[in-house]
Amino acid sequence: MPVNISYGDNVRIARTSETERLGIADLVGNVYDETHPSLTNLEVIGELRLDYALNVYFDSLDKSYWLAPQLLEFVNHAPGTEVHVHGSPFKSVHQRDGSWKKIPVNPEGGSEHAMVSVPKTAVMLLLIVAAFSILSLALGAPYLETLLPGGLPMGNALAAVGLCAAAGAAVGLSARRTALRRVSVASLIGAIAWLPASIALAGNLNLNFHGGDGTAWLVLSVAISAAVLCSLTWALAASLLAKHRRTGSA
Q: What is the pLDDT of residues 82-96, one digit of tens each?
A: 877 766 778 888 888
The predicted-structure confidence for 221-237, as pLDDT tens digits, reads as follows 999 999 999 999 998 88
Mean of pLDDT over the chain:
86
Q: Which of 187, 182, 173, 242 is nearest to 33 (CA)?
A: 242
Axis-axis angle for helices 212-249, 154-173 (nearest 10): 30
What is the tens place of the pLDDT at every residue in 39-90? 877 889 999 888 999 999 999 899 999 999 999 999 998 888 887 776 677 8
Does the structure show a pLDDT above 70 at 118?
A: no
* Confidence band, pLDDT 50/70/90 cuts, at residue 179: confident
- Quickly count: other Cβ atoms within 10 Å of residue 195's Cβ: 19
CA atoms within 13 A on the CB side of 118: 23
pLDDT of residue 1: 41
Q: Which of 2-6, 34-38, 39-43, 137-141 holds the top average pLDDT?
A: 137-141
Of 8-22, 82-96, 105-119, the one with minimum mean pLDDT is 105-119
Question: What is the C-alpha separation between 243 and 247, in angstroms, rounded?
Answer: 6
**Span 92-108, mean pLDDT?**
78
Within a 10 A sphere around the Cβ of 246, how many other Cβ atoms? 17
